[in-house]
Amino acid sequence: VEDIPREPIELFWPEATAFMHGFISGGKPVFVHCRAGVSRSASTVIAYLVSYQGYTLNGAFLAARSRRPVVTPNLGFMDKLCDFELEVRGGTEASVALEKYESWYCGSQVGPLPEVGRSISTISTKSDSASDMSPSSRKAAGKLTGAVQKVIMANRLDSLSNTTHKN
């Protein structure tokens, strides 16, 4: 698996996280590694925390960074982790706001811990405004919002990779 945003790392998470869980649930340690221990292995550990330890994506990301401060999944991997969280935990919005993550990832947000989670007020405002909707309509609206965010993120990734290749 290459450390590039469009790499299909999510295809490996079910098997990798099940493998990890088999050892961890038996009280045995697991060493997860990649070339730098920043994006690929970190994304897999975060996927494990979401799928087997009950973490939200934001909680898993912050927990991983608290143990290894260089943990920084690339933008594409974080996008895939958002999808993975929704698949595993359900819901209509991932606990990480990709716009906030991108801002932090690209260096415009500074601070000891990245603030990439969705704010409670944003989440409750969206659900309050959707209170007239049926559960299936709310879910569809959430999926549509997610799809729009993915298109925006894909365009940003393309422009970032074009900028990176020019330098």
Task: Name all domains of the chain by residue range, CATH numbers in brackets.
Answer: 9-118 (3.90.190.10)
What's the average model confidence in pLDDT over 138-160?
55
pLDDT band at 115 (very low <50, low <70, confident <90, very high): confident
Q: Tell me which of 34, 63, 154, 160 is the catalytic residue.
A: 34
Q: What is the pLDDT of residue 114?
A: 72
Query: Which of 81-85, 86-90, 104-108, 143-147 is predicted with the least confidence, judged by mean pLDDT?
Result: 143-147
- pLDDT > 80? residue 134: no
Active site residue 106: no
What's the average model confidence in pLDDT over 118-131?
43
What are the phi and psi torsion angles at 117 (to 5°)? Answer: -75, 160
Distance between CA atoms of residues 121 and 18, nearest Å:
35
pLDDT band at 117 (very low <50, low <70, confident <90, very high): confident
Structure tokens at 159: 């422009």
123 neighbors 41 (Cβ within 8 angstroms): no
Output DSSP code: residue 106. Answer: T
For the full predicted model, state whether its pTM sits above 0.85: no
Q: What is the pLDDT of residue 165?
A: 45
Q: What is the pLDDT of residue 126?
A: 33
- Digit-coded pLDDT (tens) for 14-31: 999 999 999 999 999 999
